[in-house]
Copies of this chain bind each other. A is one copy, B any other.
Amino acid sequence: MSNTEIWLESLITNSPQEGRELAIKMARKSMSAIQTDAETRRKLRSDYANDTAQLIASANVIAIEFQTVAAANNYWKKS
């Protein structure tokens, strides 16, 4: 556990915009949990940033993560 970065302290964010940023971070962290080598990830990055099918698949992941973040924040509605 000692070398594990704590990157997800909370699902609560101040705004929907910050919630989007968190959702993108969650999607990225999943990929780095599987491909743990940062240098390899850097090389792979251009593979998907220039491939629309993979950009769309990435957007699908972000959309799912955002559902969770939005629900956690009660959709940022005033209570």
Contact = CB atoms under 8 A, between A and B. Distances in A.
Main secondary structure of the interface of A (DSSP, over half): helix
A39 interface: no
A59 B59 contact: no
Count copies of this chain in the complex.
Answer: 6
Interface size class of A (residues with CB under 8 A): 35 or more
Given A72-B70, A75-B11, A61 B56 contact: yes
A11 B76 contact: yes
Contact of A20 (B10, B29, B53, B63): B29
Nearest to A65: B63
Interface of A: 6-12, 15-17, 19-20, 24, 26-27, 29-31, 33-35, 40, 44-45, 47-68, 70-72, 75-77
